[in-house]
């Protein structure tokens, strides 16, 4: 796939890896080189996003948990686990795989030749 600025920005959005205002790619989980690699080695944008979400799933155990539940009375907090995040990442990868499959295959026109019969 051809790597251009629009594809890089779109892939970062699909992967929830947008560069913060005033920040750089190092402020995200994926470098510019790796984003380009995903695009170059994929058939389309959706396939690149699926690869990126699978990559994020592999590092989910090290990711800090996000706040999942918060109560004001008696101050109760609950954070997500790495397994919750890994499951979410794999669901996103599956969704993008399905989108890639729909975009990747179109119609094929075949020509048929009659066999020569003696």
pLDDT tens digits for range 17-49: 988 899 888 888 888 999 999 999 998 999 999
Kindly state whether residue 87 falls inside one of the protein's structural domains: yes
What total number of domains does the chain contain? Answer: 1
| 40 dihedral zone (left: phi>0; alpha: psi -120 to 50; beta) | alpha
Kindly state whether residue 113 falls inside one of the protein's structural domains: no
Note down the domain range covering 71.
Answer: 5-104
With bands split at pLDDT 50, 70 and 90, how would you rate the model's confidence at 10? very high
Closest by CA to 28, choosing from 3, 6, 46, 52, is: 52
Q: Give this prediction's pTM.
A: 0.71
């Amino acid at each position: 796939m051809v790597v251009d600025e629009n594809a890089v920005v779109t892939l970062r959005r699909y992967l929830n890896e947008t560069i913060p205002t005033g920040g750089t790619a190092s402020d995200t989980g994926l470098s510019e080189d790796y984003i380009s690699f995903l695009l170059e080695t994929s058939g389309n944008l959706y396939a690149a996003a699926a690869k990126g979400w699978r990559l994020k799933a592999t590092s989910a155990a090290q990711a800090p948990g996000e706040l999942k539940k918060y109560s004001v009375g008696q101050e109760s907090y609950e954070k997500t686990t790495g397994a919750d995040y890994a499951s979410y990442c794999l669901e996103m990868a599956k969704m993008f795989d399905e989108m890639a499959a729909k975009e990747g295959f179109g119609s094929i026109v075949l020509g048929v030749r009659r066999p020569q019969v003696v």
